[in-house]
Structure 1
Amino acid sequence: MVNASVPFQFIDMLRAAVANAPSTLESERRDLRLLDWNLTTVCYSNANTTGEYECQCEDSFRWSCEICNTFNTCSNESTPTCDCIRGIPPFLQFCEPISVISPCQVPPTEALVDIFLILDPTPNGTEPLEIINQLRTAVVNGSLPFEIEEDLTLINWNLTTVISPCQVPPTEALVDIFLILDPTPNGTEPLEIINQLRTAVVNGSLPFEIEEDLTLINWNLTTACYPNSTGEPLCQCEDSFGWSCDICNTFDVCSTSSTPTCDCIYGLPPFGQFCEPVSIISPCPPPPITESASVNSVLHISTLSIEATEIIEGLRDAVAILPVDITIEVILTNFILTTVCHLNFNNEEQCECGDQYLWPCGICETFGACNSNNMQTCDCINRIPPDGILCVPSVAAACPTESPPTVPPIIDSK
């Protein structure tokens, strides 16, 4: 064994000594002579990795199968056994010449195999159950393991599944049947025919064999469509049936009953659309609750290189794109441009009213009208009024008129 503190050069020195030693070495005892020697095994601590011991065989030497199967190997070579193990084997266990080592036996491979045995027809008319019972007996009493061939041995088996002939269950299908009577036989009223069908549904004898492979086991009258008094088609659901929400929202309804959706519509729905059981119809969602509100909004635009008139025209044109979703629950449906304040060519403040809007009473006199006409109302003033005062509809802008003083009647007493 080589201690981890001894350089690996020492191993190389031993290898060189083996290679260069004279063919015969005599000791002081004349009856003892060294004829040959080999370096077979080197064990050392693998300090560079985990610190565990590794035992490496020299060239042309390998570990026995027993050692390779007992210890973890550190060899990557495809050799009959292995040339490196992790750990120190028992005393006097060393690598052996490859020429005397037998290759390790490959352990047998076990596999679970599913075997299908199909007997169609059964031999000599034997009943299927007889064959199944014979297989069961063979499983219980069979001698195992059983060598099928040199490299294939049956060590265990089980009978898991038996499929025997059986009757195919009948297939059930839900079928929609259209019964169109146009014109009605012998001038019978549509409601009379519907009542006859209702009676047949209630009193009919079921199941009813239509032909050998077709049997009617149940039926329901779900939908009756007929012209009303004005000749307009009307489709009425029978009891416990109703129209889906899509149909109710598409057609005008003629239902007054409290159903999850509706049970009567004006018009004929698309082909294949019938009333459905009330138990499977989801109630229609309530219409969204909408509330309208009028809001005064102030838009401040500063340090722009475009004329104020261009901004005003752009805002007026924006009405054409309405409505606009501001958020999921807030929709802008309309807006009116009432007041525009800006700096005129003289860099003076001016506030103008939109079409059909004027400044309320007293504002024009207080801030001065742009047209220098001291009217009680006007559409333009020379300052921005305080407190968020805006133009109002022209019908509400007029100042109240004062009533003339009442003159008492003059009575001539002459």
Structure 2
Amino acid sequence: MAGQGKILKYCVGIIIAVLVTHECVVETLDFPETSVDLEFSYIDGRLHHRIPRSAGLELLEFIVVIEVNASQAVVIEQIRASLASITFPLQLDNSTEVTAANITTVCQPNVTEYQCVCEDGYAWSYNNCKTYEACGDISFGSCGCINGIPSDGDMCVLESELPFTDFLFEIEVESSSISVIDEMRRYLQNITFPLQLDEVVEVLDVDITTVCNFNDSGYKCVCEDQYFWPCDKCKEYGSCDGITNNTCSCINDIPSDRQFCQTVSEITNNTACGQPPSVIPVPAEYLTEIQIDVDNPAIIDHLRNLLMFFSLPYTVSDSTNITEINITTVCSLNETQYQCKCEGLFVWPNDTCHSYEACDDITDGSCTCINALPIDGQFCQLKEVPPSDYVLDLDVRFYDLFLITYLRNLFTNISLPLTLSNSINITNIDMTTVCGLNGTEYECKCEQNHVWPNDTCRAYQVCDGIVGGTCGCIQALPSEGPLCQRDINECEDAVSVCGQYSDCINIIGSHVCSCWSGFNTFNKDSPVSRNNSCQDINECLFSPSVCGPNSICTNQLGSYNCSCLDGFTATVSSFPISINNTCTDVHECLNTLEVCGPNSRCTNSVGGYNCSCLSGFTVTKSSEPVSTSNPCNVTLPLTEYLIEIQINSMDSSITAQLRNLLMFFSLPYTISDSTNHYRNQHNYWYDLWLCFYQCKCEGLFVWPNDTCHSYDACDVITDGSCTCINALPIDGQFCQVLPSKYMIDIDVRFFDLFLVDYLRYIVRNVSLPLTLRNSINITDIDMTTVCGLNGTEYECKCEQNHVWPNDTCRAYQVCDGIVGGTCGCIQALPSEGPLCQRVTLPLTEYLIEIQINSMDSSITAQLRTF
């Protein structure tokens, strides 16, 4: 710790010396006062050994992080210049030296933002670029500027020390065309690496490692150049090219773990083949195709003979040998056609035969002659000859049971495949039959998982019984025919035996296939097999429907699903929908408010419902149906405006023309969604007035009484109005429409008799006429009808001086009797027609006698005249 303190002291001393220099510079240059704060931290680590190990000492390396707070950019520049002038390494004492001093990060305000910029050779990590928003581009997972100071104290780091993660992706491409794979090879060779995908991801390398294809002998997976199968894969799946240096480049299947070929450096624990590990590099093989243009067949034959007797391998250099030379393709004119024929064991692949019109038969997906030279430069390819399989029966004769047991163990522990030569492998060794004396009887017994076939069992005396057409022991060794045969479990790969969606049951010497539930064979009269495989049954096509009415059936693989149509639900909700649990109509209107919204009426229908607004309410959006999201609102009353337009014209023809124009104007005329013009046939009026020397009113318009008197009416004043005056009123008032009388029925619903009496009191005590506004007066208020329960009966009774008319009394049940063609009570509220009507009282005549005491005959005569 004392050593660490000393190092810090020296570092602090250097920095203070540098900063003092800056302070002097600042004062000399007459800059504003600068405040400098220092914060220190250090990171210790092991140095490389710079002194002999025998001394037993190790040098310690310290990275000292110093934060300088300066408000002037010139200070930072001066620090940068001073550090650049220091010669490193800087020896502090015999055991301490400063190897470098660098400015890594400069933070300062930039107009409205605070930015931290990295010096040359330094960068912000990707996390800081994202957390504090990079103020420049993010490239290769780093940036040079961020909009903030990291809260964890992070500074810019050397670009070489930025964290990067390497990923290895294996991509499997399925293609049966060799030309596609070759095209992919050529494409990958032309890509320039590293390939930048985005701001943080780059592809360093792309390689094809493994090519798997299917031929007559089954699957083969071959490694590309510089890639190999590890020894365990060579053993597990069988090498098709031999095992060398504990690796092979071809196996007879696709590994179940999807592991592909690897480089030698990636293959570990690879001594399972029993061969010693080798560091000898695997030689690379190259196929060189040479095109020779000659038209003379004699030269081609001469070339054939020359190559036939060429001594191979032919050494080109210490590291290069020519191991094989072949003529693959010969192209020439055949009379009028250009043909390319393959030599020896070479053939054209299937797609080339079809693309360029084969001039011989296509056999096993290949041909030997086409009518063109392929434009992709591809020549004939070596035909892959499938390896030959041989079964060798070895008859070993001895009667020592110990030796038989030893032989069993020996065969069990042999590592297979066993390579005899480059072209011969032993892939399986099987001990099938053991014959010997059992007491006085000679018996031939089958080894485990082996049986005698049915014919042999019946030809020779069986010593254990025949089961499933096979037996395990006979009392002779057949002079001809096979020995015991392996009882193969044909169901190990059920799909390849029975096809998809089936079960395979193994029996001795055979198997039985059956379809899964929900599946059936296309040909129901034939047994299940790979050629008559199981197919999904579409239960939704059954008649009657498996789901029942008002439902939807959805077919699924091996099954089906039932669901109800919109507006229907399962009769029993806890059970799935079926022919026994059908879909019934949903009564959506049980809660109108939740279905249609407020102020609405819900009408149920089969499989649905209909919403409508109550009287006095309208839907919010008229183009859409009523719903909770489009509710009913109170209908706002229309506002009427009277617009008067004055036209000054002395020409009566213009007035007549205007009259005709307005007469035939199509109304209502929409100005906006809420504004219309109407004409008089809809009980709304246009106000047209005409003034010449006189001002006359049109149609149903009149001058009011005071105007008639003020401006000298030019026609008769009737009912307090006239239609003609001899001037235009100076107050700008025009002719006015005659007042209209309206009778409004108000339906008030409540069943509290106290409230009914209270309403009667209010109606009787209203002071009439009641002015609502200048043009509207209420002249009469009449309470006519009261409906409510009378015990258990619903009755509608008329108020005082009101009766039900005769038709209404007869249409509904009367609860008080019909008198004079009217009644006062019925047992319903009529859906249409008037309510109770006021009784018209007959006029009463009175005879009045007046006695006048007068002797003056003139008064009497005057009274007579009156």
Give TM-score, length-normalised by structure 2: 0.20
Higher relative contact order (CA 8 A, sep 6+): 1
The structure with the largest alpha-carbon Rg is 2
